[in-house]
């Protein structure tokens, strides 16, 4: 597994605000370099099947779920106009959830070995942003939603949170830059912290240099 330039992943428990922050970032982002905001599970055929299970409309066993997330991810990465192609072309791809979600969530009921094997051929993010929030606080934020999804329970979120905290140093050791953002603050405070982190991407330095040369 190699680190892929321009690939950014947002991670956190349910209710940690990754989706909200990605939409704020997209609105604020200038055109150069281009940004592609995307998410897993995807809106493709496998992602739609996963969402049915998350809504509890269907049930499948945890090991099959791990396979489905990995299959959805393979399509997301390698299809035409997918993550790999765009990153190589110089687009900053920000993906709301990726392999760490499989390790944190499916890892509760499946072996780490299975999840690592299913995801072994997938690139590592250049930057992994973890939205750190106490599970109690995160669950309060999403309590009002009409459907309570599969993993949105206190006991599961506690385990997810602990697993993430163990995973972050592992990703650092593998060569990804890992940034932890305190996700208890206001939307604006979190957006500012995220903005500062995004400016540290190597491609942002290159764009600035290019602009300087152009003047």
Sheet bearing 124-132, strands edge to edge: 35-39, 92-96, 3-11, 124-132, 177-182
Using rule CB under 6 A, residue 131 touches ligand TYD: no
Using rule CB under 6 A, residue 11 touches ligand TYD: no
For the CB of residue 209, give the shortest distance to ligand TYD in the complex, in Å.
35
Whats the size of the chain, residue-wise?
A: 215
Cis amide leading into 41 (omega within 30): yes
Span from 3-11, 74-82, 97-105, 166-174 in contact with ligand TYD (CB under 6 A): 97-105
Q: How far apart are CA 57 and CA 195, in angstroms?
A: 37
Using rule CB under 6 A, residue 54 touches ligand TYD: yes
Total residues contacting ligand TYD by CB under 6 A comes to 14
For the CB of residue 102, give the shortest distance to ligand TYD in the complex, in Å.
4
Using rule CB under 6 A, residue 101 touches ligand TYD: yes
Q: How far apart are CA 181 and CA 191, in angstroms?
A: 10
Site map 174..203 versus ligand TYD, x via CB under 6 A: ------------------------------
- Residue of minimal Cβ distance to ligand TYD: 105
Other beta carbons less than 10 A from residue 68's beta carbon: 19
Using rule CB under 6 A, residue 102 touches ligand TYD: yes
Strands 124-132 and 92-96 come out as unpaired
């Amino acid at each position: 597994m190699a680190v892929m330039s321009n690939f950014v992943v947002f991670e956190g428990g349910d209710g940690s605000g990754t989706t909200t922050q990605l939409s704020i970032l997209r609105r604020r982002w200038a055109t150069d370099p281009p940004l592609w905001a995307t998410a897993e599970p995807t809106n493709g055929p496998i992602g739609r099947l996963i969402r049915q299970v998350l809504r509890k409309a269907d049930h499948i066993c945890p090991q099959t779920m791990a396979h489905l997330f990995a299959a959805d991810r393979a399509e997301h990465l390698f299809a035409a106009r997918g993550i790999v192609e765009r990153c190589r072309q110089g687009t900053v791809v920000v993906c709301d959830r990726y392999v760490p979600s499989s390790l944190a969530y499916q890892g509760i009921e499946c072996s780490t070995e299975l999840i690592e094997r299913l995801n072994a051929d997938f690139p590592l993010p250049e930057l992994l942003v973890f939205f750190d929030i106490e599970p109690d606080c995160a669950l309060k934020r999403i309590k009002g939603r009409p459907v309570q999804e599969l993993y949105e329970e206190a006991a599961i979120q506690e385990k997810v949170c602990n697993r993430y905290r163990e995973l972050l140093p592992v990703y650092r050791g593998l060569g990804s830059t890992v940034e932890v953002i305190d996700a208890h603050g206001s939307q604006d405070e979190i957006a500012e912290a995220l903005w500062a982190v995004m400016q540290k991407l190597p491609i942002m330095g290159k764009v600035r240099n290019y602009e300087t040369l152009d003047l």
